Structure 1
Amino acid sequence: MTTPIDVQFIAGKDGKPEYAVIPFKAFQALCNHKVREFNEKETIPHEVIKKIHLEDMSSIQAWREYLNFTQTEIAEKMGISQAAYSQMETSKKNRKATLEKIAKAMNIDYLQLRI
């Protein structure tokens, strides 16, 4: 499965995601272990997804916390102030170039930030 899986989330009574529905063929492939092995640059850890969907974090903040970086550490790697980085982390629409710089500072692929 080299294409993204279309996932539908179903909320529980509290309004938070409780179930994830995927196409049946994708489910069969997962059950039969026919999913090709991904390298770390292509995957997103469950902890990151959980922070994004359950804690309503931006993907940038979720990755930063998962990798145990502070805002100041990432800002220093990018050569910018912590305040400037903080704005990027909370922005709803970052440009591709911005995501690439943040990803480089975190040593991940920028596509992993585009969730």
Structure 2
Amino acid sequence: MNKPIDFQTIVGADGLPAFVVLPYDEFVRHFEAVGDLIPDAVAQLVFNEQMTGAKAWRTHLGLTQQAVADRLGITQGAYAQLEASPRPRRSSRERIAKALGIRPGQLNF
């Protein structure tokens, strides 16, 4: 059974709902249920600049290949090869995602 959400509706000058305010815990719970969201900026880098998901996320986060390689405990050259792969292995995706602070599913699109 679904538990009702405790929220408050803020009405605009036109009398129509303009905003909804809800407790932060509720927001987090519902946001996590949405799944692996991808910011528009990352999607734009993938589709417009033909970047891999890993490169787009790294660029979006303002990280260098060396910084990510350091987090992974590998060389920059080794990371460059991982990042260039259009379909990295599952274990590689999981390691890259952890180094970038995202979920593995956010690298897949």
TM-score (norm 2): 0.68
1:89 paired with 2:88, answer no
Aligned to 2:60: 66
Aligned to 1:101: 95
- Residues 14-61 of structure 1: per-residue CA shift (max 9 Å, x gap): xxxxxxxxxxxxxxxxxxxxxxx5349721000000000011110100
Measured after TM superposition, the shift of residue 93 of structure 1 is 2.1
Letter in 2 for 1:107: G
How far, CA to CA, are the matches of 2:96 and 2:68 in structure 1? 8
Q: 2:31 aligns with which of 27, 38, 45?
A: 38
> Which consecutive segments of 4 or more residues in structure 1 shift more than 4 A?
none
SS of residue paired to 1:102: helix
- Structure 1, unaligned stretches of length 5 or more? 1-36
Letter in 2 for 1:38: F
Measured after TM superposition, the shift of residue 81 of structure 1 is 0.2
TM-score (norm 1): 0.65
Measured after TM superposition, the shift of residue 73 of structure 1 is 0.3
SS of residue paired to 2:93: helix
Q: How many residue pairs are counted as aligned between the two chains? A: 79
1:48 paired with 2:48, answer no
- Aligned-CA RMSD value: 1.5
Could you tell me whether the CA contact under 8 Å between 1:58 and 1:90 is conserved in 2? yes
1:38–1:71 Cα change, 3 Å: same
1:76 paired with 2:90, answer no
Q: Please say which structure displays the higher CA radius of gyration.
A: 2
